[in-house]
Amino acid sequence: MPEFEQWFAGRTAIVVGATGGIGSMIARELARRGAAVRMIARRADVLAGLASELTDIGADAEYRVVDVRDRAALTDAISAWASASILVNAAGMNRPGPMDALSAEDYDALLDTNVSAVYWASRAFVRARRENGEVGSIVNISSQMGHVGGDGRVAYCASKHAVEGLTKAMAVELAAEGWRVNSIAPTFVETELTADFLADPANREYALSGIPSGRLASAEDVAAAVAFIASDLSASTTGTSLLIDGGWVAK
């Protein structure tokens, strides 16, 4: 395993949505850089495996099994880890398709997961830190689709534009206290969330044709960006969306 600079030695980070392809890589990146990692997700078996993996490399890793759409359970889990100074909201989902075909259940699940969970986790985190007279850094995983529109992605784009708005508003509201709130906005990343979509050659061509650099992002790319923007290397950065999109939005 390569050596990593210990940017987060003595610090604790909470990763919400830690069992996804991006969330799990973020947990690994932060742990390798010295953070104690506290993980939240629905899949107990995957969480246990990831915690074991991190423990094996000498990291301090704990987890709680929570459905992020359960507001009370999410709030309780975040509040229990008040010593954490970093929160990464990485839970997300997509249900692509024409707007007139999206079911009410899919719409509600998408907005509850992609938007409401970010709000309630962040609020619980801020409240817990304030009780101890402390501040912290919040990083929200957004998307390039939080900056542009996309065919067949009306609800998803709505949710990610909302995340960008939440990020900016929280950053402005909390800045005077010393908080930092930023987002990471990736392009298409090869994970379990996108596997079925990208397995179709036409869809893969669509994705690649919109990326000037000609390559999909990797989960490692996203995790490295999270580590940077959560660290003191970006101490003057708040209210910013860091695009990991190969130039998609710049076109």
Domains of the chain: 12-188+218-244 (3.40.50.720)
pLDDT exceeds cutoff 90 at 4: no
Position 1 scores a pLDDT of: 45
pLDDT band at 38 (very low <50, low <70, confident <90, very high): very high
Q: Going by C-beta distance under 8 Å and a sequence separation of 6 or more, which residues neighbour residue 85?
A: 11, 12, 13, 129, 134, 135, 136, 137
- Does the active-site annotation cover 206? no
- Which among 107, 119, 156, 206 is annotated as catalytic? 156
**Pairwise CA distance, residues 42 & 127, whole Å:** 23
- Tens digits of residue pLDDT in 51-64: 999 999 999 999 99
pLDDT digits (tens, 9 = 90+) for 126-172: 999 999 999 999 999 999 999 999 988 999 999 999 999 999 999 99
Distance CA 188, CA 45 (A): 26
pTM value is 0.95
